[in-house]
Copies of this chain bind each other. A is one copy, B any other.
Amino acid sequence: MSNITTRVGLVGFGIVGTGVADLLLNNAELIRAKTGVDIELATVVDLDTERPRSVKLPAGLLTNDLDTLLNDKTIDIGVELVGGTTFAKDLQLRMLAAGKHVVTANKALLAEYGAQLNAAARQAGKCIAFEASCAGGVPIVSALRSGLAANRIDAIYGILNGTCNYILTNMTQKGLDFETALGQAQARGYAEADPTLDIDGSDSAHKLAILAGLAFGCEIELRDIYIEGIDNISIHDIRYGQEMGYVLKLLAIGERNEEGKISLRVAPSFVRSEDSLARVDGPFNAISVFAHAVGHTMYYGRGAGMMPTASAVVADIIEVAMGNSLRVFNGLRVLPRAGTEPLISSIDALRGRFYIRLMARDEPGVFATYGRILGDNRISISGALQHEGCGPDDTVPVVITTHPTEQRHMTAALDELGRLDIVSGRPVCIRIVDIPEDRDA
């Protein structure tokens, strides 16, 4: 069989771009041997053509002129690795209009403008491949689209942000407070100088929008996703949770509830310490998928970084070069947004268990007051923890876990508890996520 030769143009010669160039230039023979595909790096476009990178490009390959890529009819695939949602969007649209397939790792762009970009790709008869946009080198997009294609997906539970997981792991294992753990993550290169998008949950939400769209077959908009970040997490709650058998993770969750509605959220979550996801440490990502035929499957690996992300980008380039991505892309039916609106379940209707912590003056009758307010809101107490001695300001932390209840009842109870004179500050509330166990029947 003669090899397919595919010419690739890369835009964005930063960290991931450098990794992609490295793999394409230095692993061409390996890729050819494994897949029969010849990939040729035709051009690399970046505004900065001077800064030294860890890969040496052949002379003349690096340019700051985007037209070198757009006007070259022999380039089949444009790889967008510039990030952001303004120039990157324009770039993808221009690459599609110029007759090129697009490979991207840009989760923010796909989460926000996926529908528009997909429509443009369909109109151009091209595809957008985005394995690298979620969980870095872990082939979760492929698993949801192809590996589990025969399944109705019931739930996905993902640790999708390596920065947050690194921070929470260090808080849990070393007892660091949030600021210190964040500083260490920045020093190690696991967090950006401005880590906002990571720690406020937005990045996880972008990825959840993409994965949930594939899993549930409908367009997800960001506003469908309830989002809480980890920036307010106290080491005390991690400790109390541990005492009760839980580990705190930032989980991105998409679930189909009993009425068939889809509930989507990103939030710090207590999971049982024996759950598989509780053991995903440091910068790693993992996604547990529950599907009707296969049951529980889990996918684990590095969710970010130069080479793991480049591994996924190049896997996509190969699949696009083979023509497989286009077929899958064309075959994938995503319900247009108009039809899915009623499918999204509101956070208020979410049913689950809760961990709450109150700081209150150590007075007679305090616990009875808590119990009454929770009971008035139809919330039943499952466990409680109060250590002897006082905290700051002569207040005592009281931790309560609940039986399953609806979010709206909890919200009402928290409001009431927060207004009590004896309670200092706002009560802390963290969801307990009982990830299903797929046990032998």
Please list the residues of chain A having a beta carbon within 8 angstroms of any beta carbon in chain B.
1, 19, 23, 27, 30-37, 131, 136-139, 142-143, 145-152, 166, 188, 190, 217, 276, 279, 282-283, 291-302, 307-308, 310-312, 314-315, 318-319, 322-324, 327-328, 330-333, 438-440
Contact = CB atoms under 8 A, between A and B. Distances in A.
Ranked nearest first, the 3 interchain pairs of A and B with the lowest CB-CB distance are A139-B147, A36-B331, A137-B294
14 contacts: A23-B150, A33-B217, A35-B149, A35-B328, A35-B333, A131-B147, A137-B294, A139-B297, A146-B324, A148-B311, A282-B439, A291-B311, A293-B311, A298-B299
Contacts of A23: 150, 293
A245 to B, nearest CB: 16
Kindly report how many copies of this chain are found in the complex they form together: 2
A166 B441 CA distance: 13
B298 A302 contact: no
A152 B29 CA distance: 11
Contacts of A142: 139, 142-143, 146-147
Contact of A322 (B33, B300, B307, B328): B328
Contacts of A331: 1, 34-37, 322
Most buried by B among A149, A151, A319, A327: A149
A213 B1 CA distance: 20
Contact of A294 (B283, B293, B307, B323): B307
A151 B311 contact: yes
B291 A34 contact: no
Given A30-B150, A31-B149, 17 more contacts: A27-B293, A34-B149, A35-B331, A35-B333, A36-B331, A131-B147, A137-B293, A139-B142, A142-B143, A143-B143, A150-B318, A166-B440, A296-B301, A299-B299, A322-B324, A324-B324, A324-B327
Nearest to A335: B33
A31 to B, nearest CB: 6
Nearest to A291: B311
Contacts of A34: 145, 149, 217, 331-333
A152 B301 contact: no
Nearest to A286: B298
Contacts of A332: 34-36
Most buried by B among A147, A149, A150, A308: A150
Nearest to A136: B294
A312 B293 CA distance: 9
A138 B296 CA distance: 9
A51 to B, nearest CB: 21
B301 A298 contact: yes
B294 A297 contact: no
Contacts of A149: 31, 34-35, 314-315, 318
A330 B2 CA distance: 10
A145 B37 CA distance: 13
Contacts of A323: 323, 327
